[in-house]
Amino acid sequence: MRTTLFAVALLLAPNFANSQRILEVTNGSWDHPNLSVETYKNFVVSGFTETNPATGLLTPTFKISSIAGAPLNTYYVDYPDSVFLMDFTIREATNTIILTGMTSSLASGTPYKMIIAEVDLPTGAPVQSSLEYTFNGNSMVPHQIICSESTAQVTVVGTEILGTVTSSNYATIPKYGFVLGVDLNNFNTILYPPIEMDLPAASIWDYDMLENITEVPGSGYFISGSCNAPGSGEQNLITVGTDYAGNVTFSNIVDNTNSRFAGSSVMYNAPLGVVYLLANNSVIHQFQIAICDPFTGIFLTPWTRHQMTPYPIGGGVDQNGFRLQQSKNNTIVVGGYLSAPFGALPQQLTPFQISMRDNLAFLAAKVYQSGNNSPLSPSYYEENGNSVFINTPDMIVYNRHSDRTYLVNQNTVNGGFDLNVSSLLKASKCEKLVPVTTVTTNPIIVGSGNFNPLPMYTAAYPSNNPARPIQEIILCQSISPTLAASYPAPTLSPNPANDLLNVTLDEEETIQDVVIYDLKGNRVLSQKANQRTMNEMGISVGKLDQGAYILEITTKEGTMHRERFVKQ
């Protein structure tokens, strides 16, 4: 099965165009949705929580698609209790999924128990026995999981809750962020004493969480979360560094709002050797992004906000960023939601994508069709992300093979979730480009964190992974390559040409390949773009006979140019 699915994905990879929106009909529980998406080679993997009709229990569910969005397989990861998927990562060395989730809480107040498991990516077959982790009867809520092949380590960051969180006590119940490292090949082996963060404050808020993690190769991990500022009782951002042995190397409490400030995503940028830090600021209702030193957490840039001007940010609409991604050309992409009350937007949760250069300069912003009309509560307690209960969703992923982003969002109107296949800079009929206003502010580091060892215990937790039917509907049809009448004509120089013909497109287009035909329609030369090619390419035509030719250029945006040139 694994070989077959990989072969199908590779065959389907070239056969898609600019963008599409695909609805997967589910019987999921939208009280506790946690859509996440990852990609590996020519696979796109969507993870969510759904009720298995055979058992009536909520269970982690995975759908495997090609990069064109075509479904390949889907399956449940069933447990003897209801379990919510919180996050997952793909272990590329073994073609497996490592997932984390938590058991549901009963009316009696049973704590949430954290689960870590590993399954085969294409088929869902169990690879490692699932294990549950708990501490002194408290709820253990995982937020993000990553694996490091170089250190054979799986690391989870999350929140320990003193008792059980509910929709009525989530704001006041004490919470402590934790870091857990286990052996990559034996989840029962805890590699170092887990640590927890506690910053007590004078007010009711004791709202400490560790939410996001990225590996800094050769050093350890860069983590972000939320915490109380020293003495103020207010919620602020925290950044934390740990080495591979679990030792805290730095911690910084960041505050320039004096209010609730949530960590959303962190990402190590290898070409530049820096960390990108994304956070949501609830005072200005806007996400902020900055670049940090990976070893100290010191800010290397101010906070940058790219605020979409057509929407009343702070006047009814929150612009929440939830995940960072990085393209092969080092474009930085943020995926998030515009969240709004009734009447402010057609859908109350509207996904967006903003692309930036690696220096955070703006490139493009667009909003997606949504189909989400779930009622919002002030805390987002039962919404996608941004709460003490639901993990900040990994809602967007970038695939190097397709040079596309894949964004998932719930669709309560149609009863399922959408997978949006999209380009980095162009909008299809599924999307709408919007202008932004860019603002920068200076961050302020006001203190450091407090960390203590956390005893944690494991127990086996059996699973059964049955197949799941696929119910898929195309909501926004793919756009096939068409003549690019809306773009400026390519520049061919020199024309006539002797040896080298230089092709230049509009700066918003990216060359995928070129084909040269003679005037009888015979293909005489073809050349694919390499990874460094953007909107310019040189083509050697020295071996062609003298005469006129047609040059056909296909772009990664799904358009096609045809131009005439002369070979001298």
Q: Which CATH number goes with the domain that contains 551?
A: 2.60.40.1220
Number of compact structural domains in the chain: 2
Highest mean pLDDT (candidates 80-84, 111-115, 355-359, 378-382) = 355-359
Report pLDDT for 9. 46
pLDDT per residue as tens digits for the range 344-371: 787 878 899 999 999 999 999 999 988 8
Give the least confident one: 180-194, 341-355, 388-402: 388-402
Q: What is the pTM of this model?
A: 0.81
Domain residue limits at 36: 2-476
pLDDT for residue 443: 92
- pLDDT for 541 beyond 70: yes
Same domain, yes or no: 377 and 502: no
Among candidates 81, 119, 58, which has minimal Cα distance to 459?
A: 81
| pLDDT tens for each residue of 20-34 | 889 999 887 666 667
- pLDDT tier at 63, thresholds 50, 70, 90: very high
pLDDT band at 201 (very low <50, low <70, confident <90, very high): low
Task: Decide: 101 and 116 in contact? Cβ < 8 Å.
Answer: no
Among the listed ranges 87-91, 119-123, 243-247, 476-480, which one has the minimum average pLDDT value? 476-480
Q: Over 70: is that where the pLDDT of 327 sits?
A: yes
> Is there a contact between 176 and 198 (Cβ–Cβ < 8 Å)?
yes
| 485 or 490: which leads in pLDDT | 490
pLDDT of 373 higher than 60: yes
In this structure, the answer to whether residues 454 and 499 fall within a common structural domain is no
Q: Same structural domain for residues 407 and 554? A: no
pLDDT confidence of residue 384: 36
Mean of pLDDT values over 113-120: 94
Can you point out the beta strands (E) in 56-125? 57-66, 71-76, 83-91, 96-103, 114-120
**pLDDT of amino acid 117:** 95
Residues 45 and 153 occupy one common structural domain: yes
pLDDT tens per residue across span 4-16? 554 444 444 444 4
- Contact between 460 and 129 under an 8 Å Cβ cutoff? The reply is yes
Average the pLDDT over each of 102-106, 282-286, 292-296, 389-393 and give the range with the smallest value: 389-393
User: 382 vs 328, which has greater pLDDT?
Assistant: 328
Higher pLDDT, 251 or 489: 251
Instruction: Name the phi and psi angles at 422, rounded to 5.
Output: -145, 155
Asked if 270 and 159 sit in the same domain, the reply is: yes
- Same structural domain, 100 and 132: yes
Instruction: Name residue, tokens 């069709």.
Output: 369
CATH of the domain at 239: 2.130.10.10
Question: Distance (Å, rounded) from C-alpha 542 to C-alpha 545?
Answer: 8
Which residue, 449, 476, 503, sits at the end of a domain? 476
Lowest-confidence segment of 76-90, 131-145, 194-208, 320-334 by average pLDDT:
194-208
> How sure is the predictor about 199, in pLDDT bands with cuts at 50, 70 and 90?
confident
| 482-483 and 559-567 beta bridge pairing | parallel
Residue linked to tokens 């400490």: 208
One domain for residues 206 and 229: yes
User: CA 397 to CA 271: how far, in whole Å?
Assistant: 19
Residues 407, 503 share a domain: no
The 10 Å Cβ neighbour count of residue 270 is 10
Summarised one tens digit per residue, pLDDT across range 543-557 is 999 888 888 888 876
**Is residue 82 domain-shared with residue 174, that is, in the same domain?**
yes
Please tell me the distance from the alpha carbon of residue 225 to that of residue 266, in angstroms, as a whole number.
Answer: 10
β 175-183/195-197 pair status:
antiparallel
Q: Do 98 and 74 belong together in one domain? A: yes
Among 406, 441, 476, give the residue marking a domain's end: 476
Looking at residue 464, what DSSP letter applies? B
Q: Looking at residues 203-219, what average pLDDT do you find?
A: 86
Regarding whether 513 and 496 lie in a shared domain, the answer is yes
Statement to judge: residues 290 and 437 lie in one domain: yes
Q: Which of 476, 502, 535 is the last residue of a domain?
A: 476
pLDDT of 440: 96
